[in-house]
Structure 1
Amino acid sequence: MSNPTRSASTDELEAVFQRELVTDRWAAAETAFALASRHRDLTDWSASREWVQQCLRLLEGFPAEAEEQVATRRTSVGGVQLPNYLHAGVVQARFGDLG
C-alpha cells in the first residue's frame, strides 16, 4: 500500500499491520486504530472491537506523559484519518463500548 491516503481494504490493512508489528510497533498501533475504524464503518462490530483491543494492547507499551510521545506520525492510514494524538483515552472516546 504505497499511497497512505487511498482507501485500502481491511485485508490490505491487516497485511500492513502484520509487517509493522515486526518492524514498527507504533505504526502498528496506528494501523490497528485504522482497522478498528474501517470495521466500525462496515458495521462489523466484532472485528472493530478486536482491533480496538489490539490497538490498546500496543499502546500500553508506550509512554504517554507528554504530547510528543502520543502524537501520530501519519495523518491517515489506508484512507482512514488518524487523530492528532493516539492514546488509550482517545481510543476510548472514539470507540466507546467497543473498547
Structure 2
Amino acid sequence: MTNPTRAASVAEMETSFQRELATDRWAAAETAYALAVRTRDAGDWDQSREWVAQCLRLLEGFPGDTEEQVATTRVSVGGVLLPNYLHEGVVRDRFGQLA
C-alpha cells in the first residue's frame, strides 16, 4: 500500500490490518472498515460480514462521545474512501444487514 495511486489488494490490506492490530487499534478499525467495503463490493458477503464484525468489535473499545473521538485519521485505506467519522452507527448504516 505504498503507492497512493494504486488500490491495495485484499491480501495487502489484511497484512496491514494484522500489523495495525498490534500497534494501532484505531488504524486497524479503519482498515477493517475498508476491507468490509472492498469484500462487499467484490460480492464476498460472508467475508464482508466478518470484516464488519471485526470493525464493530474494535470500535467498542473507543469512546464515541464527541466528533473528535470518532474522526477518522486517514482519507482512504487501500484505495477505499473512509467516512469522516467512524462509529457503530455509521458502520451499521453503511452495511445494513451485513452489520
Name the counterpart of 1:73.
Answer: 73
CA-based RMSD of the aligned residues comes to 0.9
Q: Counterpart of 2:44?
A: 44
* Structure-2 separation of matches of 1:81 and 1:3: 15
Using the alignment, how far apart are the partners of 2:4 and 2:98 within structure 1? 25
- List runs of 5+ in structure 1 lacking aligned partners: none
Residue identity (%): 73
Q: Is the 8 A contact 1:5 1:76 kept in 2?
A: no
Q: 1:62 maps to which residue?
A: 62
Conserved? CA contact 1:36–1:47, under 8 Å? yes
Deviations 1:67-88 (A, max 9, x none): 0000000000000000000000
SS across alignment from 1:16: helix
Aligned to 2:24: 24
**What CA distance in whole angstroms lies between the structure 1 residues aligned with 2:65 and 2:5?**
29
Unmatched runs of 5 consecutive residues or more in structure 2: none
State the one-letter code of the partner of 1:57: R
For residues 76 and 5 of structure 1, what CA distance do their matches in structure 2 show?
Answer: 11
CA distance in 2, matches of 1:28, 1:36: 12
Cα distance in structure 2, aligned partners of 1:70 and 1:60: 11
**SS of aligned partner of 2:97:** helix
Please report the TM-score for the alignment, with normalisation by the length of structure 1. Answer: 0.97
Residues 6, 49 of structure 1: alpha-carbon distance in 2 compared, 3 angstrom cutoff: same
User: Which segments of structure 1 move beyond 3 Å, counting only runs of 4 or more?
Assistant: none
User: TM-score scaled by structure 2?
Assistant: 0.97
What are the superposed Cα offsets for residues 33-70 of structure 1, whole Å, 9 maximum, x if unpaired? 00000000000000000000000000000000000000
Partner of 1:92: 92
